[in-house]
Structure 1
Amino acid sequence: MEFQDVVRRRRMVRRFTDEPVPDESVRRIMRNALRGPSAGFTQGQAFLVLRGAELARFHEVVRLWTLESVRTAPVVVVPFAVKDAYLDRYAQPDKGWTDRAEERWPVPFWYVDTGMAVLLILQTAVDEGLGAVYFGIGADDFDPLRAEFGVPGDHVPIGAVALGHGADDDVSEGASPRTRARRPFDEVVRFGRW
């Protein structure tokens, strides 16, 4: 599939069939997630891929805010941002800082870089002919999620991505494109100055 087609077709799919996702597709999606930009090549992301019994346990531990139909997706990927990896990396001699001061980060790149990895997951899902939806995880569920799956305490889940075969070709109920138009290019993009 051409890249412009991937960009144009990418949308949040909220209904899934029960058709399994091939392991090769899941592995390709995750390999591409690892190719995202990373400040200082820190690579401060981690991913938990859940299927089968582990996925059922995820749905028991994490209270989803999203549609019930998302629970039918056969795969969920939980991306984690690891702030300490960035603080450690930028305290190394080649970066010129001698401390791990978080104040040096007016924008928390651990979240930015992990978000870019999520976009690569969403785009690769399209390229694989799959549907995907990103959804949030409430802060109250962070510790139970970590405890249930043995995730280190310094790993912060930035949400989750459900993956599977879309149940229909149309945009799902509740989806923004049905109720809101995309903002015009000239309203959003400025060249030279505002």
Structure 2
Amino acid sequence: METWDAIRARRNVRAYTADPVSDEQLHRILEAGRRAPSASNRQHWDFVVVTDRTRLAELATVWHAAGHIARAAAAIALVLPVPGDDRQAVLDQFDLGQATYAMMLAATDLGIGTGHSSVGDQARARAILGVPDTHEVALMLGVGFPADRPLRPMTKPDRRPFDEVVHLGQW
């Protein structure tokens, strides 16, 4: 898939087929996240990959809207160090956003869907994943083949109109 097509085809997928995502495909998705830009090249992120059905079901309990994690072929937990100050928190969140989107686009390129989820119960998420108290599970990404329809470029996305969003020269 061309990059532009992947950008237009990417959507949040929360219903997955039973087909597994191969190790090679997961590696490529994770490599996209690892290569994402990072402020001062700090790369504070860590990624924990889960494919075990029991652990996926457990992860689905750490946020009220994370049920899709239990049905995914895999989940990627995105982990950050507990920030030392507000500036580090902002930089780390921005960097993690870039890594997340890089993984989402790489997955879309492979025809694999992703659906993000927040983490509400940090203690439980850390316990399930073995993450130390010095780090936070910032979010999770469900990964799997879409059950409803394949990923194809959308011609009419549910987005505010271009002219309403883009301001040329000034507001």
TM-score by length of 1: 0.77
| Structure exhibiting the larger radius of gyration computed from Cα positions | 1
- Among 77, 91, 105, the alignment partner of 1:109 is 91
Partner SS state of residue 6, structure 1: helix
- Bigger mean CA deviation after superposition, 181-190 or 31-40: 181-190
Alpha-carbon contact 1:44-1:83 (below 8 Å) kept? no
Alpha-carbon contact 1:82-1:154 (below 8 Å) kept? yes
Distance 2:30 2:14 in 1: 20
Question: Which 4+ runs in 1 deviate beyond 6 A?
Answer: none
Aligned residue runs from structure 1 range 133-148, under 5 A = 133-138=115-120, 141-148=121-128
Distance 1:24 1:14 in 2: 22
Partner SS state of residue 108, structure 1: helix
Distance 1:49 1:24 in 2: 13
For the pair 1:19 / 2:1, whether they are aligned, the reply is no
Give the deviation of 1:79 after TM superposition. 0.5
Alpha-carbon contact 1:83-1:110 (below 8 Å) kept? no
Question: Percent of pairs identical after alignment?
Answer: 33
Corresponding residue for residue 95 of structure 1 = none
Alpha-carbon contact 2:111-2:150 (below 8 Å) kept? no
Corresponding residue for residue 76 of structure 1 = 75
Query: What are the ranges of 5 or more consecutive residues in structure 2 without an aligned counterpart?
Result: none
* 1:27 to 1:116, Cα distance in 2 relative to 1, 3 A: same
Give the deviation of 1:106 after TM superposition. 8.6
**C-alpha deviations, 1:87-116, integer Å up to 9, x for none?**
6xxxxxxxxxxxxxx35x297111110111
Partner SS state of residue 158, structure 1: strand
Give, as a single letter, the amino acid of the residue that structure 1 aligns with 2:98.
M
Corresponding residue for residue 188 of structure 1 = 165
TM-score by length of 2: 0.86
Partner SS state of residue 49, structure 2: strand
Count of residue pairs brought into register by the alignment: 166
Distance 2:42 2:79 in 1: 14
Corresponding residue for residue 55 of structure 1 = 56
Aligned-pair Cα RMSD in Å: 2.3
* 1:107 to 1:63, Cα distance in 2 relative to 1, 3 A: closer
Query: What are the ranges of 5 or more consecutive residues in structure 1 without an aligned counterpart?
Result: 88-101, 172-177
**C-alpha deviations, 1:127-149, integer Å up to 9, x for none?**
111111111111xx111211232
Alpha-carbon contact 2:58-2:70 (below 8 Å) kept? no
